[in-house]
């Protein structure tokens, strides 16, 4: 099953589940935080994945920042992307907005820090791409165009080679892990 039908199926299931759950107490509050919650960033995996400790403590939740795709850690720009996100968010309280999970079990969420959309910031700095799907340029296409035009981060001439979108990189070279 391709990605889009899977997401649509998950959204349909979530839509059917939410009305029934809205009137009853949250049985899974320790496992599945509310749609919007805040927590402390305890670890940064790479430029688009981090771990956030939910309110009240407990095991940190693995969160994939929605709307962006950062370079793989072994790809040109990968460590710079991770390090920038780490400098910005590690040890900070962030707002997490999301409910769906990806194929790796990560919560897909918009992350806000001091009112700023972190995905938008990452793309505007040239540290990630706007997540694209087929003909859709993604939610941060304008920020990506500006970063490319300015030669920022992964779009810098100093990278030596043109930036390669992570999905294409994985297809050619496999996963870094």
User: Which 3 state secondary structure label does DSSP give 38?
Assistant: strand
Query: For the purposes of burial, counting CB atoms within 10 Å of the CB of 27, is it exposed (0-12), middle (13-18) or buried (19 or more)?
Result: exposed
Residue 49 three-state SS = strand
- pTM reported for the whole predicted model: 0.78
Which pLDDT value is given to residue 78? 93
Q: What is the pLDDT of residues 38-49, one digit of tens each?
A: 999 999 999 999
Backbone phi and psi for residue 12, each to the nearest 5 degrees, phi listed first: -65, -45
In total, the chain counts a number of residues equal to: 177
The Cα 123–Cα 75 span in angstroms is 17
Confidence of residue 36 (pLDDT cuts 50, 70, 90): very high
Q: What is the pLDDT of residues 135-148, one digit of tens each?
A: 899 999 999 999 99
Across the chain, mean pLDDT equals 83
Residue 32 CA to residue 37 CA, distance in Å, equals: 10
Scanning the structure block, which residue is given the tokens 């992350």? Answer: 111
pLDDT at residue number 27: 29
Tokens of 85: 């996100």
Q: Which fold has domain 33-171?
A: OB fold (Dihydrolipoamide Acetyltransferase, E2P) (2.40.50)
């Amino acid at each position: 099953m391709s990605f889009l039908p899977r997401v649509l199926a998950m959204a349909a299931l979530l839509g059917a589940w939410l009305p029934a759950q809205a009137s009853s107490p949250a049985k899974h509050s320790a496992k599945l935080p509310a749609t919007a919650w805040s927590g402390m960033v305890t670890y940064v995996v790479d430029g688009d994945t981090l771990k956030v400790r939910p309110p009240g403590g407990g095991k940190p939740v693995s969160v994939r920042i929605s709307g962006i795709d950062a370079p793989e850690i072994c790809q040109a720009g990968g460590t710079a992307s991770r390090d920038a996100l780490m400098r910005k968010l590690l040890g900070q309280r962030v707002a997490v907005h999301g409910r769906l999970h990806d194929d790796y079990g990560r919560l897909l969420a918009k992350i806000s820090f001091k009112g700023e959309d972190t995905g938008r910031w990452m793309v505007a700095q040239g540290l990630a791409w706007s997540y694209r799907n087929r003909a859709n340029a993604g939610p941060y296409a304008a920020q990506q165009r500006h970063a490319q035009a300015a030669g920022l981060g992964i779009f810098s001439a100093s990278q030596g080679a043109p930036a390669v979108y992570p999905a294409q990189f994985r297809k050619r070279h496999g996963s870094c892990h």
